[in-house]
Structure 1
Amino acid sequence: MIYELNHVGGPVQDLDASLDFYTALGAEIVDHLFMAGPQVTRVHLQLGTGLIELLHANSPAPDATYGLNHVGFMTDNLDADYARLIEAGYAELSPPKVAGSGQGRLAFLADPNGHRVELLQRTEEFRVPPITTGETRRLAHIALDAPDLEAATTFYSEHLGLPHDSGRFTLNQDTLALSPTWPPSTTPVNHLALEVTTPRPDLHDPDGNRITFVPVS
């Protein structure tokens, strides 16, 4: 069973610049690990209750692309959930395997609009109690383009089991927002919306991810 919307993540070109950007917004580093096998540094940042996973390769491929490119979900039965989703017709990207960190196992598939969805099964917990000391109170939502909103709704609500309301899918503390009409983005994840005490104009992080701000509700 899929029980948690765990993180949004992707590769970064300059790890220090990305860390400076997000910590200036109030994020805290809750996990920092060098994975010797793939030669990748993994950092989890927490904004409010939401986790952002940054991946930095020591020797990236010449054609490497950067930016948030997947959403990760926790499951208590990776093999069964992955097999069920593939049998339902969703595209296989990477079958279940041991994670490069050695922490549990993972797999990737594509949602109906081609977004990368990671399934994770592990015992490690990186999330800490909600961070509410700064201006950013929470990661309000992770936004994905959904040209085929009906198919995406079926995937996230019926097959992943996320409760939903008007294009927003919430599991535990975090929310995925889908729309066919977001303004265009240069990264696979359309934008992150942060709930803040004082709204401000949109920003872009060092890899071009758009960050929007909404007032505390």
Structure 2
Amino acid sequence: MIYELNHVGGPVRDLEASLSFYGELGAEVVDRLFMQGPRVHRVHIQLATGLVELLNSEQPGAQATYGLNHVGFMTDDLDGDYARLIALGYAEISSPRVAGSGQGRLAFLSDPNGVRVELLQRSEEFRVPPITTGPVRQFSYVGLAAPDLDAAAEFYGTHLGMERVSDDTFRLGADAVKLLPSATTTIAQLGLTTSTPAPDTQDPDGTHLTFLPH
């Protein structure tokens, strides 16, 4: 069963710049390791309730791209949930395998609009109690491209088991996804509720951040 929206993540060009940017918003590092095989630094930061996975390669390819590019969900039956979703017609990206970190197993597939979805099964828990020391009070949502809104709603609501809390927003665990029909990138934005008004901005790799009133 898929039971938690665990994180949003992707590759970053300059790890320290990303840590500094999110640190200014009150994010804290909750996990950090180096994957020897692919030569990748993996850092999980927590912003209010939400986990953001930053991946920084020591050997990026010439065609490397940067920015948040996937959402990760926890499951207690990786093989079963992956097989069920593939049987429903969703596109396979990579079948279940041991994670590069050695922490559990993972698989990737595509939602109906091309968003990369990671399924994770592991015993490690990186999430800590909600962080309230910075200006961000709530990790409101991960905004996902959904030009086919009905198909996306069926995927996240019916097949991933997320609770529909509004016409375009689905929650599982502490955090939520918001489906954005007009978005031009798959991970279109992070919606963050702040203690004081703030203008929208972008992180160092171009991910859009929208600040919502508390």
Class of the TM-score when normalised by the shorter of the 2 chains: over 0.9
Distance 1:181 1:60 in 2: 31
Unaligned regions of 5+ residues in structure 2, if any? none
Unaligned regions of 5+ residues in structure 1, if any? none
Which runs of structure 1 show a deviation greater than 2 angstroms over 4 or more consecutive aligned residues?
none
Equivalent pair of 2:25/2:135 in contact (CA under 8 Å) = yes
1:118 aligns with 2:113: no
1:212 aligns with 2:213: no
Distance 1:38 1:138 in 2: 33
Equivalent pair of 1:96/1:107 in contact (CA under 8 Å) = yes
Q: Equivalent pairs: percent with the same residue?
A: 64
Q: What are the superposed Cα offsets for residues 154-201 of structure 1, whole Å, 9 maximum, x if unpaired?
A: 10011100011211000111010002134x4xx531000111011211
Equivalent pair of 1:31/1:45 in contact (CA under 8 Å) = yes
1:34 maps to: 34
Residue type of the partner of 2:134?
A: G
Residue type of the partner of 1:211?
A: L
**Shift of residue 151, structure 1, vs aligned partner:** 0.4
1:178 maps to: 179
Distance 1:148 1:134 in 2: 36
1:80 maps to: 80
Relative to the length of structure 1, the TM-score reads 0.96
Distance 1:56 1:179 in 2: 28
1:132 maps to: 132
Residue type of the partner of 2:190?
A: L
Residue type of the partner of 1:96?
A: P
Distance 1:210 1:179 in 2: 13
Distance 2:149 2:175 in 1: 20
Distance 1:103 1:135 in 2: 32
Matched residue of 1:133: which SS? Answer: coil
Residue type of the partner of 2:203?
A: D
Compute the RMSD of aligned alpha carbons. Answer: 0.8
Distance 2:81 2:46 in 1: 27
Matched residue of 2:132: which SS? Answer: coil
Equivalent pair of 1:49/1:130 in contact (CA under 8 Å) = yes
Distance 2:118 2:60 in 1: 21
**Shift of residue 145, structure 1, vs aligned partner:** 1.2
Q: What are the superposed Cα offsets for residues 131-172 of structure 1, whole Å, 9 maximum, x if unpaired?
A: 011211121110011000000011001110001121100011
Q: What are the superposed Cα offsets for residues 69-113 of structure 1, whole Å, 9 maximum, x if unpaired?
A: 000000000000000000000000000000000000000000000
Matched residue of 2:20: which SS? Answer: helix
Residue type of the partner of 1:176?
A: V
Equivalent pair of 2:114/2:186 in contact (CA under 8 Å) = no
Relative to the length of structure 2, the TM-score reads 0.98
Equivalent pair of 1:67/1:188 in contact (CA under 8 Å) = no
